[in-house]
A and B are shown apart, each in its own frame.
Chain A
Amino acid sequence: MDLFEDLATFVIEGNAPKTKELTTQAVKEGLSPKDILENGLLAGMKVVGEKFKRNEYYVPEVLMSARAVHAGLEILEPLLAAAGVEPVGVVVIGTVRGDLHDIGKNLVAMMLKGAGFRVIDLGVNVPAEKFLSAARNHNADILAMSALLTTTVVNMKEVIELFKRDSFPAKVLIGGAPVTEGFARQIGADGYARNASLAVEAAKKLLGITA
């Protein structure tokens, strides 16, 4: 359908106003919110992800596209909720205690939203207890943590241990400049992402989503 193709194109171009306008039009035309999401917004974002992998797009273009998806989601979210359409997954995200850096965390949150996840962003300097309480309240599938400093990255382990003690079943995804795959394994995280775009892939992989 042309409208879906146009919607995907606006997402690929990172045109938030046009994406919002066309999403509104699609709703008015009586198209299903789920179809608008999957065949328009997420279809566009899938192309964006492929372009990123091929080094045709870089982080700024991907973010602009994610912003466009977000603009469309502002229209769709209440309708999706009313129709009982579930998000791809629920992610509780934050920068760990002691660390005020939020740029990487914000990028990951935006990318995950753009990929259809529901994201609960707890901000920066988040204590372990707050991560657990939010994960419980929102029934989170994934706990995502970020840290930029070698001195704060160690606080991730404290959060993972608290989740384990509480037997909360969320998968743990971590990232940040000092984080490596080895470090992720060492502290018991389930996944690690080198950048925001790869974080989406990693999150989907953790939940067994192949599309």
Chain B
Amino acid sequence: MIEIRNLTKIYKLNKKQMKESKTTNPIKTAVDDLSLRAVPGEIYGLLGPNGAGKTTTLRCISTIIRPTRGEIYVAGHEVQKEPEQVRERIGFLTGDIKLDPQFSVDYMFDFFGRLHHVPQEKLQARKEELFEYFEIRDFAHKKIKELSTGMGQKAAIAVCLVHDPDIVIFDEPTNGLDVVTARGVTDYLKKLRNEGKLVIISTHIMSEAEKICDRIGVIIDGQKVAEGRLGEILQETGTEDLEDAFFELYRGRKGEAL
């Protein structure tokens, strides 16, 4: 289970960053008092436009960055107090995280398996299963730098799942993938959900959220503006599909700000 309690993440911008985001305010609140709960056996989707705070939230869960305020419990372990325990139980993947281009897929798989203390036999079994599913076997001996984007992404997914984590965190899982590969990834996420695992993803693609997420949390400007099953959100906003619902929420939020 993942439980976020009043998460706030504030970045201090330097001069260059301030110039880039055209602001004179050196303090940027990426996530603002966000709370949510995701439970095993569901795919929870964080939906929002670019810069809404989705990635920041997922990174806080993964212990890569530290919350400014608030607590996050992952399978009962608080991210700041027991970061290693948290990392033991999660598989985290984003487009920014890359595998070492010098090594083969095989080597990286074994390497991360050992870092996660996966016993040798189980490691072999996992490799069979994941390499089979993602059709990696043909290029398992190739160096990462020789792989195409799609192949590289498949390899990265397989490696991040080496330890069979109970909680899988994916930042924009289908970003940059072709339709076939993307479908393979979303199907696998459903499979994980069906096995009783907790999957939490971020996305700005409405159709993806509609199709695979059991519950959706809509985030705008670092705040959660709606949460629930697809039907619940549509009902709440009185709309026909998620895109309309999102714009309804977006208008409401921005109107309020104005």
Bind each other: no
Chain A: residues with CB nearer than 8 A to chain B?
Answer: none
Chain B: residues with CB nearer than 8 A to chain A?
Answer: none
